[in-house]
Structure 1
């Protein structure tokens, strides 16, 4: 156990991450232009997220045809692929 008067080890500050610009689900002028890969509709919700295993993905859900896709740097993921990556070890 360190002595009561011993200085604490300094922590390195975390590198600041630049957040992507926020969009809007209600104001079309503030939305990013995303399209449904299935029907081509612009009425989609797009979210950036990280799966449990750390894989960054773009989730796109279409309000017209209800298609849902998860796109990673390696290409689109199947539902089974997403479920496999989100299982806790």
Structure 2
């Protein structure tokens, strides 16, 4: 048990160190937007433009994910009983 925990701590430390020292390099692979979508857009005569809502600034993207998670959690909590409890037949206790 202790060997597994020590190995896990060592692995996390090594990955964290590698990530910290690798930030100065440019990413090797471009995203799908740059490689596929922009290529087809240029082939069809459309140049890329900025988004209507710029989510790359600050924590706006994090805010949207939090808002969506809270909304989904509220909806699931509201319908929890109907989805998981109501309509199930009660099984008699085994004796």
TM-score category of the 2 structures, normalised to the smaller one = under 0.3
Q: Which has the larger radius of gyration?
A: 2
- Structure with higher RCO (Cα < 8 A, 6+ apart): 1
TM-score by length of 2: 0.21
The structure with more helix, counted as a fraction of residues: 2
The structure with more strand, counted as a fraction of residues: 1
